[in-house]
Structure 1
Amino acid sequence: MSVESRKVSESIVETVHMVRPNHLNGAGRLFGGILMQWIDEVAALAAKRHAHMNITTVSVDNLRFLKGAYQRDVIVLKGKITYVGRTSMEVKVDTYVEDADGERILINNAFFTMVALDSNDKPAEVPRLLLETEEDRHDFEKAKLRREMRLLRKEEGF
């Protein structure tokens, strides 16, 4: 049984992409499926940093497209663990367009549920989450509410 704990800050992942022509949809904007792939990768890396083992995506909540991105835009994705259960973790991923001055405009946010896997691909216990900041505690409380909603939806068959 794991009694180990890890800090939220230890799970933070940030990746940067440039939108290229092959990333565009027919309307000339970043194709949502490409962005979803990038977000899933960031969520997986954050969960792996926390668990120190293989993980798998279980569900995606609140994938919200707030603004479009276009060719040559610089896209920054930032992910971190917000909640830890016994074998599962919630990862928040925010996506930004970054301008030449480094200013970031939020264009997407998402919450992924990831599960840690042992060497037999069975769910494995993960380290507890050490909440160091007020933001960590706030994110954790919000994540508990999202978890309750996920469980309710599952119970209702959604």
Structure 2
Amino acid sequence: MENLEHRVAESRTEQIQIVMPGYTNGNGRLFGGKLVAWMDVVAAVTARRHAHRDVTTVSIDNLQFKKAAYANDTVLLIGQLTHVGVTSMEVRVEAFVERLDGSKELVNRAYFTLVALDSHERPTPVPRLVPETDEERAEWEAGARRTELRLQRRIEQF
């Protein structure tokens, strides 16, 4: 690994999609699964930019559909790292409907956990994350708590 730490801004990722009719249900609403697929790609790109490695998604937490997106809406997806462990990375992905006047409305937010992979597809260490702003530091602390909860759930399930 050439650089042992990265800032949040270095891996931030944005993607734009237009909701096409084939992505919607009979009421013209975007399929939730389609939105989750877009969000997963944004999370993966964000994590790959941080780790400089291939990654795989291991969990999605706190997936909240707040509003609907409809046919012909522009959807803006923003991913940014919130917390990292030794081999894992937590990425918050937010999806907004962007109106023609430029205003944005949050439609979904989720936290993805991804693991960096070496050339043999085994977990491999990732650079540390350097939170710089108060918001980034707050997300780091919240991410540490979510990581602990994930570990507890995993232990309780097995």
TM-score bracket relative to the smaller structure? over 0.9
Aligned to 1:52: 52
In structure 1, C-alpha distance between the alignment counterparts of 2:2 and 2:87, rounded to whole Å: 10
Cα pair 1:2 1:125 within 8 Å, conserved: no
Q: Deviations over 1:60-109 (max 9, x none)?
A: 00111111010110000000000000000000000000011111100000
Number of residue pairs aligned between Structure 1 and Structure 2 = 158
Aligned to 2:21: 21
Unmatched runs of 5 consecutive residues or more in structure 1: none
Deviation at 1:27, TM superposition (A): 2.6
Aligned to 1:79: 79
Of 75-84 and 22-31, more deviation after overlay is shown by 22-31
Cα pair 1:19 1:73 within 8 Å, conserved: yes
CA RMSD across the alignment: 1.3
Deviation at 1:131, TM superposition (A): 1.2
> Percent same amino acid at aligned positions?
51
Alignment of 1:5-154 (within 5 A): 5-154=5-154
In structure 1, C-alpha distance between the alignment counterparts of 2:67 and 2:133, rounded to whole Å: 29
Cα pair 1:2 1:127 within 8 Å, conserved: no
Deviation at 1:156, TM superposition (A): 1.1
Match of 2:93, SS state, is strand
Q: Which amino acid aligns with 2:58?
A: V
Unmatched runs of 5 consecutive residues or more in structure 2: none
